[in-house]
């Protein structure tokens, strides 16, 4: 996913945060206080009396880049973290692993390869999602890579994790008062919680809590537990905002399709090599590279390419080189490549 900075800028422009109370809502929700009185409206309810979680929602924070407090850096806005206590209680070995992940995040982050982001990360990716609510399940459809989640509420258990696991886990939900509590298990160990390298094992267990607090706001909390990686459970929370634009609808973000388009070059040929300068999270220049990795001066033209900007190559820019041979260059697990 490459368009973070521009998406964040556009989103801030269109989202109506009309009053200071909306900002207060975020802070108070994080501190655990009820925010009903701030929203100026009753919580909508379904015919069965349960709160309605329906609508098109989106998070407005920087957790997808880094879920803890962080300063700004190239392509990444500064952010106050969403982690309670701002500490992620890693075991010692895992703390070192997280550090290594962070240093190599441009290539190691599975989300950079357009893989599914897992739970809870997909909730706070800067893309909208739509909730449809039924008596025995909740459907959430996400604009990001056409992912959907079914939160089953008929009381049946998770499938046996020795039989099956999922990138997005398996979700079983029930109401506790006015909060939808979602128990998520059956994860694989392939996803990260953010671009900063925070990770988990296949023992991950997430409990989400969705609490509608008014016509346009919801509080989202997630307790994260993984005895193979952390010393104790830990918790994140954030507000979710209902998109206000008239006729707003989910579109598509087909991450790996765009990335493939960039690599295709001219019709029917393979691009020999591609150099992506990751600035502002976006590939904005392609050039051929010689065997020593230096530019040859040739430019490969991709269809629809705009005029190429010259980019400064300071220490803050992150550079990745991909092997353009073969459709999927991420197949490290396949010896056939």
Partner 1 sequence: MNSYDLEAHPDSFMIRGQPTMIVDPADGKLPYQPWAAQQKTKNYATYYDTNAGCLLSGLPRTTAYMSDQMLLQQRPGYIFLVSGDHGYRIIKMDSSPHVGKSISLWNGDSRGHWEGNTLVIDSTNLNGKFWIDIAGNFGSDEMHVVERLTLVDGDTIHYRATIDDPKVYTRPWTIAVPLNRNKSKEDMWLESCHEGEHDSNRLLGAGHTPYPGWARIAAAAGR
Partner 2 sequence: MHSTFLKSSTIVVLLVAALAVRASAHHSFAAEYDAKKPVTLKGTVTKVEWVNPHGWIYIDVKQPNGKVANWAVEAGSPQVLARRGLKKTFLAIGAEVVITGYQARDGSNTANGASVKFPDGRDIFFGSQGADAPPAPTR
Q: Which residue has the tokens 């109401």?
A: 175
Least separation, in Å, of the C-beta of 303 and partner 1? Answer: 6
Least separation, in Å, of the C-beta of 326 and partner 1? Answer: 5
Look at residue 148 and give the partner it binds from partner 2, partner 1, none, a contact being a CB closer than 5 to 8 Å depending on partner kind. Answer: partner 1
Residue 316 in contact with residue 38, Cβ under 8 Å?
no
Residue 64 in contact with residue 83, Cβ under 8 Å?
no
Site for partner 2 in 135-164 (CB under 8 A): 135-137, 159-160, 162-164
Phi-psi region of 265 (alpha: psi -120 to 50; beta: other; left: phi over 0): left
x/- binding map, residues 265-304, to partner 1, per CB under 8 A? --xxxx--------------------------------xx
Spatial distance between the Cα atoms of 201 and 192, rounded to a whole number of angstroms: 10
Look at residue 130 and give the partner it binds from partner 2, partner 1, none, a contact being a CB closer than 5 to 8 Å depending on partner kind. Answer: partner 1
Residue 88 in contact with residue 198, Cβ under 8 Å?
yes
Residue 134 in contact with residue 146, Cβ under 8 Å?
no
Q: How many CB atoms lie within 10 A of CB 130?
A: 18
Q: Which residue has the tokens 């790996």?
A: 256
| Kind and range of the H or E run holding 222 | strand 217-225
- H helix runs in 69-151, sequence order: 92-103, 105-108, 121-124
Look at residue 162 and give the partner it binds from partner 2, partner 1, none, a contact being a CB closer than 5 to 8 Å depending on partner kind. Answer: partner 2
Interaction of residue 49 with partner 2, rule CB under 8 A = no
x/- binding map, residues 107-136, to partner 2, per CB under 8 A? ---------------------------xxx
Contact residues toward partner 2 (CB under 8 A) are 134-137, 159-160, 162-165, 333-336
Q: Name the site residues for partner 1 (rule: CB under 8 A).
A: 54, 110, 114-116, 130, 132-134, 139, 141, 145-150, 152, 156, 159, 164, 166-168, 170, 190, 247, 249-252, 254, 256-257, 260-261, 264, 267-270, 303-304, 326-328, 331, 334, 336-337
């Amino acid at each position: 996913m490459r368009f973070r900075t521009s998406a964040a800028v556009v989103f801030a422009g269109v989202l109506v945060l009309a009053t200071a109370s909306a900002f207060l809502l975020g802070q108070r929700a994080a501190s655990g206080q009820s925010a009903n009185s701030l929203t100026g409206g009753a919580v909508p309810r379904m015919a069965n009396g349960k709160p309605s979680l329906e609508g098109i929602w989106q998070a407005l924070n920087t957790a997808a880049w880094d879920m803890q407090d962080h300063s700004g850096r190239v392509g990444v806005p500064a952010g106050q973290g969403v982690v309670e206590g701002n500490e992620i209680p890693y075991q010692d070995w895992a703390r070192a692993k997280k550090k290594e992940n962070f240093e190599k995040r441009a290539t190691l982050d599975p989300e950079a390869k357009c893989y599914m982001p897992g739970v809870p990360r997909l909730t706070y990716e800067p893309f909208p999602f739509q909730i449809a609510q039924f008596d025995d399940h909740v459907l959430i459809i996400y604009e990001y890579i056409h992912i959907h989640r079914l939160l089953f509420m008929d009381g049946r258990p998770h499938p046996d994790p020795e039989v099956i696991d999922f990138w997005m886990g398996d979700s079983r939900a029930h109401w506790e008062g006015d909060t939808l509590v979602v128990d998520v298990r059956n994860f694989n160990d392939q996803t990260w919680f953010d671009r900063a390298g925070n990770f988990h094992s296949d023992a991950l267990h997430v409990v989400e809590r969705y609490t509608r607090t008014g016509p346009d706001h919801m509080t989202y909390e997630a307790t994260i537990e993984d005895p193979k990686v952390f010393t104790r459970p830990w918790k994140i929370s954030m507000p979710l905002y209902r998109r206000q634009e008239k006729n707003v609808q989910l579109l598509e973000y087909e991450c790996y399709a765009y990335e493939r388009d960039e690599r295709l070059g001219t019709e029917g040929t393979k691009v020999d090599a591609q150099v992506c300068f990751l600035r502002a999270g976006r590939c904005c220049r392609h050039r051929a590279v010689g065997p020593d990795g230096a530019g040859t001066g040739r430019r490969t033209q991709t269809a629809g390419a705009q005029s190429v900007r010259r980019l400064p190559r300071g220490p803050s820019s992150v550079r990745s080189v991909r092997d353009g041979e073969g459709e999927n260059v991420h197949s490290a697990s396949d010896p056939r490549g």
